[in-house]
Amino acid sequence: MTQQDKNQSSNLPTRKLGTQGLEAGAIGLGTMGMTMAYGAGDESDGIATIRRAYDLGVTLFDTAELYGMGTGSNEQLLGRAVKDFRDDVVIATKFGFDMSVPQTGAGFALNSRPDHIREVTENSLRHLGTDHIDVLYQHRVDPDVPIEDVAGAVGELIAEGKVRYLGLSEAGPDILRRAHAVHPVSVLQTEYSVFERAVEAEVLPVVRELGIGFVPYSPLGRGFLTGTVKPAAEYPADDMRSWDDRWQPGNYEKNLAAIHELTALADAKGITVTQLALAWLLAQGDDIVPIPGTRSPQRLAENVAAAHVTLTPQDLARVQEVLPQGAAGSRYPEAIMPSW
């Protein structure tokens, strides 16, 4: 990273996430990969990366009960990392699974009953070492619990000062409207990147109509858009890329070819393909704050510097030409695919 990049990234611009008062640096940090899904992590490295992110201007930090597999380990890591500057950052965490039920091929059982929401929230507050959660997301829509009950339960926690903003994750237009009618939804978190474009047709228009901010997770295609990829068979079993459809034979080669074309565009602009992918997302609206995850302080600085990259209309057209409909391959197996 050049000195110019360092100087720029330390002045990370802020963005408004919706109309309820939530603001954050234009690039956030997802912490899931520090404890799950991408192989074994190192706690000291995770804490160092989070603190480095804060130094670079990152203020939105994303965790979840699920990321500690019910133990609270991911939330605890984040809480320890931000304890010296807790009031300067936005902590987002999530409820929505029943971690006491063994995982099946369809993932963990869902549970968004109001009493469970309160139980998980109290646990999260303790694990994070804080007296309030800035954004509390429903991690996945629970078909057995009316969304009105969910919004009402989080609204009660907001009234008590334990939560500041209600968020939803992987919710469709109808769910968004119904929740928002009970308590304002401040932000929606759903996968979105040059690889994954499903939200563009119906979800983003409703988000903007209702004044809801948008937080894309997996903005780098789970690492594919970093340009440092290898076939699925070369990843260990505890790395989700070993079974991710986009890494499987046939899809992998098509996606790799697209990355090569995007890399050529990035090289011509003097940036990395990672920065191109993040700058593309930021160019989709000033109500968007992506949360790329990384364990590397160097990669982190590269990600943050993407907030200062300007893409021309020609650049955006070229990205669309290379990936008109996103990546080859589905983003989740059918059994755990979120349903809108």
Asked if residue 66 lies in contact with residue 99, where contact means CB atoms within 8 angstroms, the answer is yes
Distance CA 274, CA 221 (A): 10
Answer yes or no: 67 catalytic. yes
Degrees to nearest 5, angle at CA 338 with 336 and 340: 150
Please, are residues 169 and 136 in contact by the beta-carbon 8 Å criterion? no
Residue 151 near residue 122, CB atoms below 8 Å: no
Question: Is the separation of the CB atoms in 285 and 240 below 8 Å?
Answer: no
Task: Identify any residues that bridge with 92 across adjacent strands, giving them in sequence order.
Answer: 62, 135
Question: What are the counts of helices (DSSP H) followed by strands (DSSP E) for the chain?
Answer: 11, 11
Please classify residue 166 by burial: count the beta carbons closer than 10 Å to its beta carbon, then call 0-12 exposed, 13-18 middle and 19+ buried: buried
- First-to-last C-alpha distance (Å) of the chain: 40
Given 67, 137, 235, 252, which residue is catalytic?
A: 67
Rounded-to-integer distance, Cα 118 and Cα 124, Å: 10
Alpha helices in the chain (DSSP H): 3-9, 43-55, 73-82, 114-128, 147-159, 173-182, 199-210, 251-269, 273-282, 297-305, 313-322
- Supply the DSSP symbol for 102: P
Indicate which residues carry an active-site annotation.
67
